[in-house]
Amino acid sequence: MRCLIKRSNGGFILLGTALGIFLILSLFSIYLLRIVVNENVISGYNLLDIRTRNLSQTGLEHGLQLFKENGTPYVAPIERSFNNGNYTITFDPLLNQNGTSLPYSHFAMLKSAAMINDVVRNTRVFLSSYPDAFNLAFYGDSETFTQSGTTFSGDIYSNGNVSNLTISGTAYTTTGSGGTIHPGSPPSFPSHNASYFQTIISEVPVDSSGGEEEVIQDWTVEFTNCAQSGRYGPSQGQVNSTYTGTDLSGQVTVNNGIQSWTVPYTGAYTMQVYGARGGNGATYAVGNPGNGARMIGSFGLTEGDILHILVGQQGSYTSYSNNYGGGGGGGTYVAKGSNYSNADPLIIAGGGGGGGYNSGSYVHGQTGQDGSNGGNANSNNYSGPGIGGSSGYGASGSTYGGNAGGFYGNGSGSYNYNSELGIGFRNGGNGGNGQYGGKGGFGGGGGGYGGAGGGGGYSGGGGGAYSYGGAGGGGGSYNTGSNQDNVSGSNSGHGKVIISWTGTGGSSSDTGSGSGTTGGEDILQFNNCGATGKDGPSQSNCNSAYSGTSLGGAVTVYSGIQAWTVPADGTYTITAKGATGGIHSGSYNPGFPGDGATVVADIVLTQGDILYIVVGQKPTSTTSESHNGSAGGGGSWVYTGTSASNGIGGSGLIIVAGGGGGSGHGSSSSTGGNGKGGNNANSSNESANGESFGINARAGTGSCGNKGTGQGGRGTLTSNYGGSGGGAGWSSDGNNTETGSGGSGGDRFAGGISNDNSNMYGGFGGGGGSGGNGNSGGGGGGYTGGGAGNGYFSVSGVSGNSWGGGGGGGSYASSSTSNVTMTVGNSGINYSNTSNGYVTITPPSQTTEPEEPPVPSSYTETGTINLEGNTSTYGAAVTFDGATVNGPGKIISSNDIIFINSSNISGGIEIISGGEIVIQNSVLGTGVSSLTNSVILYGATGLEVGNGTVHGLSIIADGETSLSDANYYGALYNSATDCNMTNSQLTGSLVSSSGLNVLNCTITKGDLPPIYETVFGFEEMVIYGSYLEY
């Protein structure tokens, strides 16, 4: 039994051992199998990773191709699928792969993210909008490199001596000394395509007169009421808003509603000026308001002249009561001077009177200088109407309608209890209040108060009478320009002023004596210089009237006679026109005055000849009498001779244009005789009899004739009341009233007076005076004076009376003249067409040989300039002196562009110079993070920055680049012959073909303005060494 047991145990042990070995081998086999499986999994993952990395690089290559084709990193993300994976291309011009800022503002990142299954790989590179040389703080493509006391921050490259530098970075070189040999191919001096800039410069013609004529041609600006209405003018805010986006943007300042503008170019300008319409009257003051006048003239202006422009505003309607009249329209004024309070008038368009009863042509803005009287009321003329102003002053007289303001003074008179009077231009030009009637428009319009307000203008219109208010009189106008085109009652809205630059050629208002010009380009226009009535202008009157014109400083005045010295030998054309007769002030069937004659002739004159010029004036009409006729108008005379120091009585008469006769007065059953127009012959032009309506009526017997050819006119022969004086002739004065008291004859050359305190004075130039109650018309002055109108013959038992109109003065042209034409003046013209005379002298067609064009001069810009996306182009050098220029836009000159005296130039501006760019004590640009705050400079012949600051990119083609006490931020590309820096700081990159001479400066690698996708001539690139996998 013991043996069996022992054997059994041994077998069990063997069996157990075998089982143990089997288990061990099984476990080892399982372990080996797991090792093989794991190895296969790891090898597969590595393969996917490689494939994903390659896919990311494919995406990166795709992005680089897009960048090469488009030249910009401003591209939306692009996703592409490839086999079982995909990649996404992303351009980021601001951030790197970590979401932090890129190293420099001119960098952008291109990133490619690829994915296959769950494997992700990213690759990126940095891009630049500049070639490789700009990645250095300084690149010099020359052996020229001298420095002292200068610190460099960033890598530099030069083939000069770069030893002993103070530098945070590496100084690379290839053939120079003292530096680190560049490990690879060194950067090259970048090529630059300057065709964009060179084409622009080549298209700017050089302007020898200081302006670029192609740019200015047909240049027009329009001044408006700027959406303002009522009695006060626009604010600065309204003006700024209205003119935004126009050539007037930022160029107009406002003082009390009057707009001030500085003339930008020297040359000839045409001005179109429109007065404003009056306001409507109420139900019981019916009648149309007056329209504003339109005046057009040509003027010579000088760069820097200050024009003060008041744009008239419409009078308003009244709804307060049915009885009251409308407000008068404002006159529109253009004056020149340092301030509107002392400015001299150039051109003025009268405003229309307010609407009311008895409306007629007198309510319109007039073309003559005087304002019209106001209209009568429908009933009960309480103390009115107002009397139109003259000589540039406001209307006057006691009236319940507001008398309008003129140029020099306010309206005046009684019964204006609520400030209805219009204010004169020099006093601010506000319209009158309309406490009960309509308010007067800005521009001196009178306010309504019972009667309507008068229209503002050079001389104010009279207010209408009350009750059931009469219409207001239209304002007078004024025009010192040549090529005039004047229309009464033209404009039915607010006023406006249109100014057009018409060229650099001469005009009647150009500065100078008139020599050296071609015919028709420098017509000299002699006028009455603002004077009216019996006495001519003073020296100060003419100095003011001719300031800034060809006659400025060239006219000497003797007793109202204007003396002018002939500047050059040649044939001159003289045109003379006599003045009209006066305006009848009464209401009893008046006649109408005569117009002046016109004479045109050529004459050969010698340099140094003195011409004495009498400009005929229309008479005054300031009487308060209700029955008067009117005085005669003055003739216009041109003569030579020095027999008298006061200019009177010269021996060589050249030309005379006769003045018009005054109007006669009629009674209830007769009409006074019309004044006769100036004659087109030597003899006076005698008037016809007055008109009678019934068998009991008596007519005046016409005018009284003269004392002989070349003599003065006869005075009134027969009259029960004061008669009138005859007009003066060349050889004798006109006779006084020859029976009874009344008007005096005209003198050589003062107008005749009335001797009975009625103040109906004849016009300067020999017009006869008109006498008192019930008088006839005065004779017009001329070569032969016009006779005064004759009185009626008293017939017992017969009622109704009339007095004759004055005769027109005769005209004359001496035998030394040629090509003579004489035109008779019209008889019986409407009061609204009365006017002063004038004399124009056209110089010879070629008095001197044209001068050689001068060397191009230069422009100077000051103040604020808003480019608003536009281009300022100059055909000569331009200096910005203390100027502020706001972009975006371009400044282009065929010559130098200079910034001095704290000029401030915003970003977003290209500055392109055919010469040198000079920056002294000024700041250009505000930063380099984008093109909107950077400037782009192109200098064809150099760059000079002294004590200034620049933010941007400068491309200097030739000449010299110089920075002294300067701060420069951005890229500076220099292909000029020299490049020098002293006591300056440059942050960005300086790339120079001519090396660098630098003293006591700091040069730091920094941001450059990004110029992707621009026309500035550089090629973009991938930053070497910027490739990264992650």
Residue 147's Cβ-count burial label (10 Å; 0-12, 13-18, 19+) is buried
CA distances from 235 to 424, 494, 648, 759, 1016 (A): 19, 16, 52, 43, 43
Residue 156, both tokens: 């530099």
Q: What is the pLDDT of residue 514?
A: 30
* 764 touches 756 (CB < 8 A): no
Dmax (CA) for the chain in angstroms is 203
Label residue 256 left, alpha or beta by phi (over 0 means left) and psi (-120 to 50 means alpha). left
Tell me: do 912 and 960 sit in the same domain. yes
Tell me: do 831 and 912 sit in the same domain. no
In a domain, 143, yes or no: yes
* 401 touches 478 (CB < 8 A): no
CA separation for the pair 380, 901 (Å, rounded): 68
pLDDT of residue 372 exceeding 70, the answer is: yes
Q: Minimum mean pLDDT among 441-450, 483-492, 660-669, 1007-1016: which range?
A: 660-669
In a domain, 443, yes or no: no
In a domain, 536, yes or no: yes
Tell me: do 588 and 538 sit in the same domain. yes
- Mean pLDDT, range 856-860, rounded to an integer: 74
In a domain, 299, yes or no: no
* 150 touches 999 (CB < 8 A): yes
Q: What is the DSSP letter of 102?
A: P
* 407 touches 394 (CB < 8 A): no
pLDDT of residue 777 exceeding 50, the answer is: yes
Q: What is the pLDDT of residue 687?
A: 80
Residue 309, both tokens: 């422009």
Residue with the bigger pLDDT between 217 and 15: it is: 15
Tell me: do 88 and 100 sit in the same domain. yes
Tell me: do 119 and 136 sit in the same domain. no
In a domain, 245, yes or no: no
* 782 touches 686 (CB < 8 A): no
Rg, C-alpha atoms of the chain: 45
- Mean pLDDT, range 308-329, rounded to an integer: 85
Q: Minimum mean pLDDT among 668-672, 773-777, 824-828: which range?
A: 668-672
* 655 touches 730 (CB < 8 A): no
Last residue of a domain, one of 801, 836, 871: 836
pLDDT band of residue 882 (cuts 50, 70, 90) is very high
Residue with the bigger pLDDT between 6 and 879: it is: 879
Tell me: do 813 and 962 sit in the same domain. no
Structural domain including 104 reads 46-129+1017-1030
Q: Is the peptide bond before 888 cis (omega within 30 degrees of 0)?
A: yes
Nearest to 613 by CA among 560, 663, 545: 560
Tell me: do 664 and 774 sit in the same domain. yes
Q: Is the peptide bond before 264 cis (omega within 30 degrees of 0)?
A: no
Mean pLDDT highest for which of 186-190, 672-676, 826-830, 993-997?
A: 993-997
CA separation for the pair 666, 692 (Å, rounded): 9
Q: What is the DSSP letter of 513?
A: -
Specify the number of domains making up the chain: 3
pLDDT of residue 828 exceeding 60, the answer is: yes
In a domain, 24, yes or no: no
CA separation for the pair 824, 826 (Å, rounded): 6
CA separation for the pair 371, 401 (Å, rounded): 15
Taking the CB of residue 175, how many other CB atoms lie within 10 A of it? 10
- Mean pLDDT, range 968-976, rounded to an integer: 94
Tell me: do 76 and 160 sit in the same domain. no
- Beta-carbon contacts of residue 830 (< 8 Å; ≥ 6 apart): 361, 592
Q: What is the pLDDT of residue 241?
A: 92
Tell me: do 790 and 867 sit in the same domain. no
CA distances from 121 to 432, 517, 1030 (A): 83, 82, 6
Q: What is the pLDDT of residue 997?
A: 95
Tell me: do 653 and 741 sit in the same domain. yes
In a domain, 396, yes or no: no
CA separation for the pair 814, 182 (Å, rounded): 97
Last residue of a domain, one of 804, 821, 836: 836
Residue 993, both tokens: 């073909």
pLDDT of residue 806 exceeding 80, the answer is: yes
Tell me: do 822 and 958 sit in the same domain. no
Strands 897-900 and 917-920, by their bridges, are: parallel
In a domain, 783, yes or no: yes
Tell me: do 888 and 822 sit in the same domain. no
Helix (H) or strand (E) holding 104: none
- Mean pLDDT, range 453-475, rounded to an integer: 92
pLDDT in tens, 142-201: 899 999 999 999 999 998 999 999 999 999 998 888 889 888 788 888 888 888 888 888
Residue 749, both tokens: 């050359």
Q: What is the pLDDT of residue 520?
A: 37
Task: Provide, for the chain, the percentages of residues in helix, strand and coil under a 3-state DSSP scheme, each rounded to the nearest 5.
Answer: 10, 30, 60
Which residue carries 């490739």 as its tokens?
1027
pLDDT in tens, 405-462: 999 999 988 777 778 999 999 999 999 998 778 899 999 999 988 888 999 999 999 9
pLDDT band of residue 547 (cuts 50, 70, 90) is confident
- Mean pLDDT, range 13-33, rounded to an integer: 60
